[in-house]
Amino acid sequence: MAGRRRASRIPVLGLCLLLVALVACGGRSPADTERARVQHLLDRRAAAVLAHDAAAYGRTGTRDGFAGLRRVPLAGWSYRVTAVHRSGGTATADADLRYRLRGYDTAPVTASRTLRLTRTAGGGWYVAADLPAPGSGQQLWDQGAVDVVRGSHSIVLGVGQPAATLRSYAALADRAVPAVTRAWGADWPRHVVVLVPKALEGMAGLLGSPASAYRGIAAVTTGETGGTGRTPADRIIVNPDAYRTLGPLGRQVVLTHETTHVATRRATDGATPLWLSEGYADWIGYRGSGRTPAEAAPELQRAVADGDVPARLPGDEDFGFSGDATRLAQAYEGGWLACRLIAERWGEERLGAFYRAVGAHEKRAGAEADAMAEVLGTTPREFTALWQRYLRSELG
């Protein structure tokens, strides 16, 4: 009997240990519980943003930033908390903000945020500040109230800009989109999002970079290269300080150039050299403008006139914004003239096919050579020599 009783206790003890283990494994740690509380708070805050409910938003924390979002057409807004760091009655939360612009983003834009939290009298959390995470760029509404102008093919979001100025950007974008479609084709969304901060410093803030890196640069385009079509619309970010120094043609060329980057994004990847991506964008930008090579490529024209014909096509390193301004200008001009040469010698359709063929490669090695052989029937060496002769004939 004693042996029986001992045997009967073994499975009971084993069951108890199993239940303890299951309870321990299934229970939440204090950190998980705190993160769930913060997530619930931010879910309420996101719902208030989408509902344009200022009172509900205020119950979750500071109202800073809410007014800036009032005119932004949002189709989605949510937070995903990734970590909570407590320190007594305060905490900071790391979170990914995901949002979509209605009618423009097919997938959410993701931005890293840091939220400062304080305890409420009831023991819950309250958002004291919602800021870009260290090393991340700002969102436009971090810089003030956002005004919105819609065009036929564009939406322009601005801070600190007169409505007439925003309308002028929409008009430029609305002319750029059809121009790009005529050259590239219709296999892209055919609309653009333009962000216009108050000044250069605002542009740099959106890009998370020092202002010195973009001084004199009229606009840049942000986006994911080689996208699947489920990525958010690219953003064309304008430097209003540089833009206002341009004439009407220059402004249109810049917006058309940046719009080309939006259109070609899915066909652009790590295999695409900058001379091709930037040169093609300039080629569409100047297409039909009537500008001669000497007018559109003054820095390269001066070099060629002095007998200094480039020994090679521009390298990616030549396109650095913070480097030599003359070298940068010559890189853009050289890429444009290379694309212009292809369009004149092989035809505009073959130029687009060459661009797509280069981007179809997964790696840079061999991409240009294979595409030149397949689409143009030439080699990089032969093409470079042809390009050098073209520079002499057009700029000499």
The tens digit of pLDDT for each residue in 109-143 reads: 999 999 999 999 888 899 999 999 999 999 999 99
| pLDDT at position 8 | 39
More confident residue, 24 or 39: 39
| pLDDT at position 88 | 85
Confidence of residue 65 (pLDDT cuts 50, 70, 90): confident
Supply angle C-alpha 8, 9, 11, rounded to 5: 80
pLDDT in tens, 2-17: 443 333 343 433 433 3
Confidence of residue 259 (pLDDT cuts 50, 70, 90): very high
User: Is the Cα dihedral 304, 308, 310, 315 positive or negative?
Assistant: negative
Reply yes or no on whether the pLDDT at 87 is more than 70. yes
Reply yes or no on whether the pLDDT at 330 is more than 60. yes
| pLDDT at position 325 | 86
| pLDDT at position 396 | 83
| pLDDT at position 321 | 76
CA–chain centroid gap for 135, Å, is 15
More confident residue, 74 or 23: 74
Which residue do the tokens 């834009």 mark?
109
Mean predicted confidence (pLDDT) in 366-388: 97
Q: Which whole-number Å values give the CA distances from 48 to 81, 82, 101, 146, 156, in the listed order?
A: 17, 21, 16, 18, 24
* Beta carbons within 8 Å of 30's beta carbon, 6+ residues apart: none
User: Is the Cα dihedral 55, 57, 60, 63 positive or negative?
Assistant: negative
Q: Which whole-number Å values give the CA distances from 130 to 81, 133, 138, 147, 314, in the listed order?
A: 13, 9, 11, 21, 43
Tokens of 5: 């009783």
Confidence of residue 21 (pLDDT cuts 50, 70, 90): very low
Mean predicted confidence (pLDDT) in 308-324: 89
| pLDDT at position 337 | 98
Residue 246 CA to residue 237 CA, distance in Å, equals 16
pTM above 0.95, yes or no: no
Write out the residue limits of the CATH 3.10.450.50 domain(s) in the chain: 30-136
Reply yes or no on whether the pLDDT at 40 is more than 80. yes
Residue 315 CA to residue 164 CA, distance in Å, equals 40
Domain 30-136, classified CATH 2.40.30.10, yes or no: no
More confident residue, 158 or 105: 158
Q: Are 252 and 287 in contact (CB under 8 A)?
A: no
Mean predicted confidence (pLDDT) in 157-179: 98
- The 3-class SS string of the chain reads CHHHHHHHHHHHHHHHHHHHHHHHHHCCCHHHHHHHHHHHHHHHHHHHHHHCCHHHHHHHECCCCCHHHCCCCEEEEEEEEEEEEEECCEEEEEEEEEEEECCCCCCCEEEEEEEEEEECCCCCEEEEEEEECCCCCCCHHHHCCCEEEECCCEEEEECCCCHHHHHHHHHHHHHHHHHHHHHHCCCCCCCEEEEECCCHHHHHHHHCCCHHHCCCCCEEEECCCCCCCCCCCCEEEECHHHHCCCCHHHHHHHHHHHHHHHHHHHHCCCCCCHHHHHHHHHHHHHCCCCCCHHHHCHHHHHHHHCCCCCCCCCCHHHHCCCCCHHHHHHHHHHHHHHHHHHHHHHCHHHHHHHHHHHHCCCCCCCHHHHHHHHHHCCCHHHHHHHHHHHHHHHHC
Residue 376 CA to residue 282 CA, distance in Å, equals 20
Residue 204 CA to residue 206 CA, distance in Å, equals 5
pLDDT in tens, 230-244: 455 689 999 999 999
Report the mean per-residue pLDDT for the chain: 90
Mean predicted confidence (pLDDT) in 84-102: 95
| pLDDT at position 31 | 67
Instruction: Tell me the one-letter amino acid at 140.
Output: L
CA–chain centroid gap for 118, Å, is 33
Q: Are 275 and 250 in contact (CB under 8 A)?
A: no
